[in-house]
Structure 1
Amino acid sequence: MTEATQSDNPNDIDSLSTLKIQAVSGNLSPSIYANGRNQLPIEITAKAVNKDGNPLKFSNNTWISILNLCFAESDKKLNRNGNSGWCFTEVENQYSKEIQLGSHRSKRFLSGEDGTAIIILYVYTDDINTKRIAVSVDTPNGKHFTTADIHSGAEKMSVTVAAIQQIIYRKNMLTITPIYELEKGVNKVIYSDGYTREFDCHYDNYYITIPLPIINAIAHGYGNGTTYPKWICAYDKQSNNQHMIVAHPDNTKKGTETFGFEGRATFLGLDSGARFDLTKKVTFSEHDNAICFTQIAFQTGGNAWRLNDGQCLSNFVPYAFDTWFELFDIYGNYGKFNVQFTDDKLYIKITDRYK
């Protein structure tokens, strides 16, 4: 079968010699999560003929325009591209996976020489229920063909789809694996008179997983401005050590990169002439299928120097951003969490985010 190269007029349809529906997987009782994102790929096979019995050939767009998915018991149409209830679309998303049977992307639109076409549509819903889904063809001039129970002249056929309770991830469902004190090193401040003060630094990686594979994650609450956009939270604790958290939400990106900042220190708003280095080379996302957060700790100590307010860390004005992240599993199930420091500002703390 090949893609159609011509398109007849759907108003010329006299009958459908073929109209069939099934889950792409062939499963007679497929399941999806009722989260409005998880899609079930539905395969429709159709062949239309005119009054002379000759097959009609339509493009994919034409078939899409006249095809509808409907409830088998009532023949009532599902919402095309809807936002609630039982819906269908021709647009595949990244959560198009039948539960336990994975993704099915091998077939798109195919059209045979005899006019037989295979079209894929996608069912999704936020309604926890089980529904029998049929298919109909509705032409611009008002003709209606359906595989629903109330049909006439076509084979009765439907797919029984179970939409089950979505998973909303909470903190107790996360597996958090910290790896502490990686690559200990030494950074420094160089004063205008040439005096150099060194201080220890290291970083910790926190790896977060859930029971199902994570397909997408997004971090929010990055540092203000665009100068240092890669860190999401920073704090100077009371002992004047400097800490920051860096997000690596892309769990497919493994690498090594330098984070942090350097510049000139100020005293009481005046340039001290001292140059500081609060950068650290970090290796991250080394664990498969895990979101990674890095906490970088600079053991600066003392209060003899401060960084530029409004752009970097400050000994006197710690940053307190509303920092959080959200994640989606392969079926579109969702969770969102705050990412903060523990009360002693030594470690990362993950908590549920309800707002």
Structure 2
Amino acid sequence: MSTWESVSKLSMTLESGDENCDIYANGQNRIGVTINVEPTDKNGDPIQVDPQHLVDNLWLIDYADESTLNRNGISGWAYSDAANEFTAIPDGSSEGAGATIEDSGTQQVTFYVYCSPEVNRKSIGVRVRTDSGNTVKSSQNGAYHSKVTLNPRTARTYMLNDISWDYSRTSTQDGENTKYVTTYAWNYYLSLKAADNYFVTFQVQGHFTDSGYDGLFAYNITPENHKNFYGGYVWHDEPHEPGTGEIVNFPDGNNWWDHAEIYDKTYPERYLCFTWVHSTTGGAGWHIPNGPLEQWEGHFNPEIIAFDRYGNTGTFWVDGSDITDALKIYDHQGPPFGSPSPAAK
């Protein structure tokens, strides 16, 4: 078996096929950089190197001073051999033309570059170490001179003016059964108000997790004979898919359940769905305890971190203290981004 001595080709390009692009300096946005390398033996003939062994012997470097970027680092300019859900070129595409294999001897490795805030523009080269101990570089003073250049953009922080907080009536399984219980429900949708960008994932904290009540963050069974149940739910599970969510769950005493249609929009993965519900029963009213409902009123104020396709974020919270009125969303410093109470419609 031939020993890997050197390379007869060493070049690099962005996955888009370009040589430069922007990147958000938020530690999340990743840009794919593809390295084309042709390993050779002592006679200069092409040989194939085990793919993982090749990865382990390539390093991204500063094109000018040849310092090494932080592999799997958490600061400065860094890179990984894995893409993430924020692998996309700003104002570009998450999928490019890609690099091409010019002949059978060329092998390709793709690394994913990211950076933290306050870094400067970076031209990136590559260093190769062969099995014989030789080092070959694509750099300003190296044997090869291919490079890619990344231009950092300031990370975005989304506020209330950047989002949509739309709501509409949604159907329920037993909502029209006025003989026993009457239920009305509205879906609220948190989304990014942008023509060419959207949220791709959400982190949610502050809600019940009990079976049958998962996502419930606020409820109020009003004092007037305890006949009116108001509730707020956040449907935090991913992936977001059209379906139903349990919005009324009173197995003890009332023997009553109901479900609402949720994620009833196109591209549900781009939205976070909430449901506001008002359900009225007769007789002796709603019974407690039922599951985690051990008092007539209780609430969380769920916090939501929403990530766009480049890893930029906005942090919001929904007020659970006034669940009998509507669902109102806030950011960490602004006033409520309110809307009329669905009950008033």
Q: Secondary structure at the match of 1:63?
A: helix
2:271 — aligned with what?
290
Is the CA contact 1:16–1:145 (under 8 Å) kept in the aligned structure 2? Answer: yes
1:338 — aligned with what?
317
Hey, what's the Cα distance between the residues in 1 that align with 2:84 and 2:305?
Answer: 18
* AA at the equivalent of 2:252: R
2:111 — aligned with what?
121
* AA at the equivalent of 1:245: G
TM-superposed CA distance for 1:220, in Å, is 2.6
Aligned: 1:209 with 2:191: yes
Counterpart of 2:33 (choices 28, 42, 49) is 42
Is the CA contact 2:23–2:150 (under 8 Å) kept in the aligned structure 1? Answer: yes
Larger Rg over CA atoms: 1
TM-superposed CA distance for 1:67, in Å, is 0.6
Is the CA contact 2:231–2:247 (under 8 Å) kept in the aligned structure 1? Answer: no
TM-superposed CA distance for 1:70, in Å, is 0.7
* AA at the equivalent of 1:216: T
TM-superposed CA distance for 1:147, in Å, is 1.3
Give CA-to-partner distance per residue, 1:188-240, whole Å, 9 cap, x none.
8xxxxxxxx84432001112210222221233333153343243433334554
Taking structure 1 as the reference length, the TM-score comes to 0.80
Hey, what's the Cα distance between the residues in 1 that align with 2:331 and 2:134?
Answer: 53
Matches within 5 A, 1:64-75: 64-75=55-66
Q: Secondary structure at the match of 1:185?
A: coil
1:221 — aligned with what?
206
Is the CA contact 2:60–2:124 (under 8 Å) kept in the aligned structure 1? Answer: yes
TM-superposed CA distance for 1:110, in Å, is 6.5
How many aligned positions are there?
A: 323
Matches within 5 A, 1:258-297: 258-265=246-253, 275-288=254-267, 289-297=270-278
Hey, what's the Cα distance between the residues in 1 that align with 2:133 and 2:40?
Answer: 16
1:270 — aligned with what?
none
Unaligned 5+ residue runs, structure 1? 1-6, 189-196, 266-274
Counterpart of 1:348 (choices 305, 324, 327) is 327
Q: Secondary structure at the match of 2:124?
A: strand
Matches within 5 A, 1:210-249: 210=192, 211=194, 212-237=197-222, 239=224, 240=226, 241-249=228-236
Hey, what's the Cα distance between the residues in 2 that align with 1:255 and 1:77?
Answer: 49
Q: Secondary structure at the match of 1:30?
A: strand
* AA at the equivalent of 2:230: H
Q: Secondary structure at the match of 2:121?
A: strand
| Aligned CA distance change for structure 1 residues 282 and 25 (closer, same or farther; 3 Å) | closer
Hey, what's the Cα distance between the residues in 2 that align with 1:43 and 1:283?
Answer: 41
1:76 — aligned with what?
67
Q: Give the root-mean-square deviation of aligned CA atoms.
A: 3.0
Hey, what's the Cα distance between the residues in 1 that align with 2:190 and 2:36?
Answer: 43
Greater percentage in strand: 1
Hey, what's the Cα distance between the residues in 1 that align with 2:97 and 2:240?
Answer: 23
Aligned: 1:255 with 2:240: no
Matches within 5 A, 1:49-68: 49-68=40-59
Is the CA contact 1:36–1:126 (under 8 Å) kept in the aligned structure 2? Answer: yes
Matches within 5 A, 1:87-102: 87-102=78-93
2:342 — aligned with what?
none
Is the CA contact 2:220–2:323 (under 8 Å) kept in the aligned structure 1? Answer: no
Is the CA contact 2:262–2:273 (under 8 Å) kept in the aligned structure 1? Answer: no
1:175 — aligned with what?
164
Hey, what's the Cα distance between the residues in 2 that align with 1:64 and 1:326?
Answer: 34
Is the CA contact 1:25–1:104 (under 8 Å) kept in the aligned structure 2? Answer: yes
Q: Secondary structure at the match of 2:19?
A: coil
Taking structure 2 as the reference length, the TM-score comes to 0.82
| Aligned CA distance change for structure 1 residues 166 and 8 (closer, same or farther; 3 Å) | farther
| Aligned CA distance change for structure 1 residues 233 and 110 (closer, same or farther; 3 Å) | farther
Give percent identity, aligned residues only.
Answer: 23
Aligned: 1:309 with 2:289: yes
Q: Which moved more, 1:238-247 or 1:72-81?
A: 238-247
Aligned: 1:157 with 2:146: yes
Give CA-to-partner distance per residue, 1:123-142, whole Å, 9 cap, x none.
11113431111111124664
Q: Secondary structure at the match of 2:252?
A: strand
TM-superposed CA distance for 1:338, in Å, is 1.4
| Aligned CA distance change for structure 1 residues 256 and 317 (closer, same or farther; 3 Å) | closer
Give CA-to-partner distance per residue, 1:40-95, whole Å, 9 cap, x none.
11111111222222222112111101111111111001111112211111111121
| Aligned CA distance change for structure 1 residues 251 and 85 (closer, same or farther; 3 Å) | same
Unaligned 5+ residue runs, structure 2? 334-345
TM-superposed CA distance for 1:97, in Å, is 1.0
* AA at the equivalent of 2:51: N
| Aligned CA distance change for structure 1 residues 301 and 146 (closer, same or farther; 3 Å) | farther
